[in-house]
Amino acid sequence: MVIFDNVSKVYPGGQKAVDSLSLTINPGEFVCFIGPSGCGKTTTMKMINRLHEPTSGTLTVDGKDIMAMDPVELRRSIGYVIQQVGLFPHMTIAQNVELVPKLLGWPAEKCRQRVDELLPLVGLDSAQYRDRFPRELSGGQQQRIGVIRALAAEPDLILMDEPFGALDPITREALQDELKKLQAKLKKTIIFVTHDMDEALKLADRIVVMKAGRAHQVATPEELLRHPKDEWVAQFIGRDRLTDRPELLTVQEVMIRKVVTVDPDHGLAEAVATMRQRRVNSLLVTDPDDRLLGLITASEIDLARKGRVADVMRTEVATLTPDESAQVAFERILLEHLDFLPVVEADRKVVGLITRTSLADALSRAIWKDGGVA
Amino acid sequence: MEALLRLLSQPRVQQDLLVQMGRHLTLAGSAVLLAILVAVPLGVFLTRAPRFAQPVMTVVGLLQTLPSVALLAFMIPVLGIGWQPSLAALLLYALLPILRNTYTGITGVDQALLEAGRGMGMTPRQLLWQVELPMAFRVIMSGIRVSTVLIIGWTTLAAFVGGGGLGEVILTGFAMVSPAHILAGGVPVTLLALLADWGLGRLERRLTPRGLRV
């Protein structure tokens, strides 16, 4: 548990890097600090292991005031991963990983075992890699070593300073996935600084959005997307992300606009012909002003055999309005086993249709982030 | 050439050459060793107290620009004649390359590595021995090589103040107007310098941490 109680950091010269920050980070929590450069996120993190020291306020780790602790001892009890990987090029992979255990005076045999235990955790074969040097590894492999080096002495708390910032996007994603899994397995408290919103949304249990040295908004990724505190946060999250999420889309953004309708005065044979031609198994019945009157399905026509559309149609039709959440629409389609839901305005004018296909479209849009719904 | 061979065939001359070569090496070697003992710690200190770095480097740099014969002469009133003034003067000359390379080698260590080390809980002493010195090793070592080659050459001048060494042979050559003597003294100096540079190069390679070898 890490508790910031009214912590400030003022640099010599009066620049306030962190301004009266109060925040509690719970055991096992994955917290991301995010914000534009110069917002104090890195300074905040580095105060925890006293690479920077708070000017006022108290910062406690597991109930102990860090300013009362020996900084060297404090740092050895906290895992630390930095952006430039920070592996020592003159040491082997094993020597790098066992560095903190060695500093803590673990016996050589225990250090060796620990290395053999940790390497497979990030998918690297110990026999193959332990005696190599960092420069013989790829960037992604090096940062995997960086991560397990932080885990070596079994700290409960790990600080990560933009650890994946220098990696290519594919490697970065792979490492994020691995870290998330590792965290689920090991239940460490992780404090992670990033400027990449996607990364924060993907990894964090809670996101601390920092602005000018203050915790501007502290929220779960879900809350942050749904209720950005103000325009600044919304801007920072990015408009794209806000609309790319299926739960934040509205019906009118995902509905199909070309709707097959039939006039109530048409004969059933004509309705069947339209269905055949348009390859649908039901039709919306509308008046000349496109107002919804009812619904007619192939099986109902089949039972009645003859007559007019108006005689056979169902007038009780479940509908949606254009402003409803698309997520709600999808849930209704799935739960009520519907093929589609018509979208009508207040005056019952039909404007579109939500089908199972629109669900697939919206999903693909959220995943691949392109437009492309008709 | 013939005169040189005739000279070298005399057992007394051979013996004298060997003795002077031994003295030469001892003198140069001691000067470099002492310089390492002074310059490396001083260089490390300057990286911890950067505001002294510039003044100290300037002073040491000035020493280097003094004409060597003059520096030797200045030493005589203080240390008399013999090997002592020679050693002192050579030591002063040997300092700069080692000091400068120690300083730049250590300040050149990637800040990210230092921060990683500090963040993991290394003490300043552990950082110095386990990170900074190994990382700066090659730069420091090349400073030592430069100093050694320089000092082997300058040790020749020790003969002017009675310090011995191959310079004696060369001085004899001047006195007797004997080019053979000058060559007999001068060529070994060059060879020794080349040999020392080569040997130290090998040593540097051997001692460079494996992960840093290119």
Best mean pLDDT range from A24-33, A177-186, B152-161: A24-33
pLDDT band with cut points at 50, 70 and 90 for residue A373: very low
The first and second tokens of residue A354, run together, are 């939500």
Q: How far is A117 from chain B (nearest CA, A)?
A: 20
Interchain contact, B120 vs A84, CB within 8 Å? no
CA distances from B137 to A370, B140, B205 (A): 54, 5, 10
* pLDDT band of B162, cuts 50, 70, 90: confident
pLDDT, position A337 = 80
Phi, psi of B165 (to 5 degrees): 100, 180
Give B113 to chain A, closest Cα distance, Å: 5
Closest by Cβ to B211, choosing from A75, A77, A134: A134
CB contacts of B113 in chain A (<8 Å) are 86, 88
Radius of gyration of chain A (CA): 29
DSSP B102-122: HHHHHHTS-HHHHHHHHHTT-
Phi-psi region at A85: left, alpha or beta (left = phi > 0; alpha = psi -120 to 50): left
Report the chain A residue with the minimal C-alpha distance to residue B136: A90
**Mean pLDDT, residues A141-154 taken together:** 93
Q: Does A80 touch chain B (CB under 8 A)?
A: yes
Give A-chain residues touching B135 at CB under 8 angstroms: 88-90
Q: Give the tens place of pLDDT for each residue, A240-252.
A: 666 556 566 778 8
Q: Which residue has the tokens 């080349």?
A: B194
Lowest-confidence segment of A231-235, A244-248, B113-117 by average pLDDT:
A244-248
**CB pairs below 8 Å between A and B: how many?**
68
Which helix (H) or strand (E) is A5 found in, with range? strand A2-10
pLDDT of the residue at A244: 56
Quick one: pLDDT at residue A278?
Answer: 82
Q: Above 80 in pLDDT, residue A304?
A: no
A185 touches chain B (CB under 8 A): no
CA angle A114, A117, A121 (to 5 degrees): 130
Place of tokens 């998918």: A123
For the record, the structure tokens of B19 come out as: 């003795």
Q: Is A76 on the interface with B (CB under 8 A)?
A: yes
- Which one, of B174, B184, B158, lies nearest residue B14 by Cα? B184
**Residue A294 phi, psi (nearest 5):** 180, -165
More confidently predicted of A349 and A101:
A101
Contact A103 B126 (CB under 8 A): yes
Tell the residue number behind the tokens 């105060």, with chain if given.
A47
pLDDT at A370 over 70: no
Report the alpha-carbon distance of residue B214 to residue B212 in Å, rounded: 6
Cβ of residue B114 closer than 8 Å to a chain A Cβ: no
Q: Check: CB of residue A32 under 8 Å from CB of residue A18.
A: no
Residue B137 has pLDDT above 90, yes or no: yes
In this prediction, residue A367 carries a pLDDT of 64
pLDDT score at A243: 56
Buried b (16+ CB within 10 A) or exposed e, A345-356: beebebbbbbbe
A159 and B CB contact within 8 Å: yes
Q: Please name the member of A51, A77, A134 whose beta carbon is closest to the beta carbon of B115.
A: A51
Average pLDDT value for chain A:
88
Please tell me the predicted confidence (pLDDT) of residue A132: 94
Distance CA A285, CA A108 (A): 81
Model pLDDT, residue A315: 83
CB atoms within 10 A of CB A278: 10
pLDDT digits (tens, 9 = 90+) for A88-137: 999 999 999 999 999 999 999 999 999 999 999 898 999 999 999 999 99
Which of B119, B122, B123 is closest, CB to CB, to A49?
B119
Give the full edge-to-edge strand order of the sheet including A16-25.
A16-25, A2-10, A56-61, A64-65
